[in-house]
Amino acid sequence: MIMINFFLFFLVLSFFNMDEANPLKNTSWFLNNKSINEVRIYSDNFFSSTKYDKDNKKFISTYGGTYLLVKEGYYEVIEFNSSDSSLVGDTIYISSINLNVNKDYGSMYLDGVVYEKFKNYNSTLSGSWLMSGIERGGEIRMRDVNRSRKTMKMLAGGRFQWIAYDIDKKGFYGTGGGIFTSENGKYIENIEFFSRDNSKVGIALAFNFEVKEGDWHHKGFSSKGDPKYEIWTQRKQ
């Protein structure tokens, strides 16, 4: 694993089109190390890597950002890191990556570690989303999705994770994730980790959803039991 210049990453990016036959797109992967769970989620251009202890309901750490897979290797640009904020903005280059992927299963050798692929789960919601609107006091308040302070939700391979963070301030404000399903206008989250409240691990949250003009409208109740209506916009960059 090598740390490289941020400019170099985008120089490489300008020469390659990751959308062409990207085997990582909309997949999720796991590594079981005794009681510690490690999950990696890859949407279109974004990734997250999270460690937690599901049995003891303990969140450990998470980091993520953008990624690029090319013939020469694998790159990550860090946008958030719950353990070490000084790494935000760094670019990581890994030359040793080997993928064996089929429709439902596969393995990934990444920098000496072998991850197994979760079974595919096809959903219209797969991808990375930014919270762009939320109901407060009966009014929908819209947000600028291009600002540094973000709440991003990633869904791929039947896994979900939301992360609240600020790139410019290198701030991390919370995360949660687990397994999701989305069928016939019903979206259900089964929580496996929650950095703000470990007691919520194991509960399931059900929401009504619809996609209108490309935005995901999400209505139900929060883990605290409060009414929730959110609007999410698919992240482009």
Tens of pLDDT, residues 188-199: 999 999 999 999
Copy the structure tokens of residue 200: 């919520």
**Between 195 and 96, whose confidence is greater?**
195
- 14, pLDDT greater than 80: no
Residue 233 CB neighbour total at 10 angstroms:
17
Name the H helices within the chain.
Answer: 6-13
Alpha-carbon span 169 to 117, nearest angstrom: 33
Q: What is the pTM of this model?
A: 0.90
* Residue whose entry in the numeric block shows the structure tokens 């064996």: 100
Residues in the chain: 237
- 154, pLDDT greater than 60: yes
- 126, pLDDT greater than 90: yes
Are 115 and 30 within 8 A, CB to CB? Answer: yes
Indicate the SS3 state at residue 95.
coil
Tens of pLDDT, residues 57-95: 999 999 999 999 988 889 999 999 999 999 999 999 999
- 140, pLDDT greater than 80: yes
Residues 125-137, mean pLDDT to the nearest whole number: 94
- 187, pLDDT greater than 50: yes
At residue 201, the pLDDT reads 96
Question: Which part of the chain is CATH 2.40.128.20?
Answer: 127-234
**Between 19 and 174, whose confidence is greater?**
174
Confidence class for position 131, pLDDT limits 50, 70, 90? very high
CB contact burial 137-156 (16+ within 10 A = b; e otherwise):
eeeeeebebeeeebbbbbbb
What is the topology classification, in CATH, of domain 127-234?
A: Lipocalin (2.40.128)
At residue 151, the pLDDT reads 98
For 49, the enclosing helix (H) or strand (E) is strand 46-53
Q: Which residues sit opposite 55 in a β-bridge?
A: none
At residue 25, the pLDDT reads 93
Tens of pLDDT, residues 28-59: 999 977 779 999 999 989 999 999 999 999 99
Residues 218-223, mean pLDDT to the nearest whole number: 91
Question: Secondary structure of 221-236 in the HEC alphabet?
Answer: ECCCCCEEEEEEEECC
Choices 2.60.40, 2.40.128, 1.10.3470, 2.30.30: CATH for 2-14+23-117: 2.40.128
Copy the structure tokens of residue 29: 């992967």
Residue 210's nearest CA partner among 179, 180, 187, 227 is 187
Residue 209 CB neighbour total at 10 angstroms:
18
Alpha-carbon span 10 to 143, nearest angstrom: 27
- 10, pLDDT greater than 80: no
Give the lowest-confidence range in 14-18, 30-34, 114-118, 233-237. 14-18
- 7, pLDDT greater than 80: no
